[in-house]
Amino acid sequence: MGRQAKVSRFDARGFADHIIGEMKERGISYESLASELQISSSVFSKMDREGRKPSADILLALCHWANVEPMRFHVPPRSIERNTSAIGPFDGLNMG
The residue among 12, 5, 10, 1 whose CA lies nearest residue 50 is: 12
Q: Give the residue numbers spanning the domain of 24.
A: 2-94
pLDDT tens digit string along 38-84? 999 999 888 888 888 899 999 999 999 999 999 999 888 775 555 55
**Strand 2-10 versus strand 74-83 pairing type:** antiparallel
37: domain CATH number is: 1.10.260.40
pLDDT greater than 60 at residue 12? yes
pLDDT greater than 70 at residue 8? no
The pLDDT of residue 70 is: 92
* DSSP designation for 87: S
- Rounded to two decimals, the pTM is 0.70
Number of domains in the chain: 1
